Amino acid sequence: MIEVNLLPVKEEIKPRAAQKGLGFSIPKFIPRGFAAAVGVLALLYAYSLMQATSASRSLENNTRTLRELTESDQQAKAIEARLPTLRERAAVFQTRLEKRKLWSTLLQEITLCCPEKVQLTEISLGVARASLSVSQQAKELLIKGYYLAGEHLESNEMTFTTRLQNSKVFAAEYPRIVIASTDPQALRTDFAIRCSEQ
């Protein structure tokens, strides 16, 4: 059988040119799909890179926070270890604060207890002679004064001592109050009162 081509010559060349390639034509949706897949992969890579960077920064922040918390914890432990010593110091300070003498109050009390005719010459603080040990040295307050001759019959030093003993403020600090000396002279009588903590 003889094949006869009734088409014009130009129409006959087109199919031959189409047959020069792979022998088939590639549908248009395949390159578009491939480009879309590449775009999606690029977006996924960018998203993964962002997530990795974010995770890295978060890890650095968490590491820094952990380091700071560890340092704070160590400082807290150091302070906690020092707490007993600090509490002891606070207790000692509180005890000293409670036992401290308010000299303004004591001097005011001495002034209030002093009889009118008595003149004070000296108030001194020293260590009591009868202290038990060096670590527990009791303090002693020595009050010296005088009153004029002719007024000795009133026993001003005895009145002064009694008033000091009856003063709750003064006797709380110095419970032992005694007349240390009385020295009558021609024009006046000198005296000394010893006030001891023990």
Confidence of residue 164 (pLDDT cuts 50, 70, 90): very high
Does 166 have pLDDT greater than 90?
Answer: yes
Query: Which has the higher per-residue pLDDT, 89 or 25?
Result: 89
For 103-196, CATH gives 3.30.1360
Asked if 162 and 182 count as a contact pair (C-beta separation under 8 A), the reply is: no
E-strand stretches of 97-160: 119-127, 139-148
Two tokens at 156? 């001003």
Instruction: Give the model confidence (pLDDT) of 13-49 as tens digits.
Output: 555 544 555 556 767 777 778 888 888 888 888 888 8
Average pLDDT over the chain reads: 81
- Sequence ranges of the domains in the chain: 26-100, 103-196
- Does the reported pTM lie above 0.85? no
Query: Which has the higher per-residue pLDDT, 123 or 151?
Result: 123
- CB neighbours (10 Å) of residue 168? 7
Residue whose structure tokens are 């001495």: 110
| DSSP three-state, residue 187 | coil
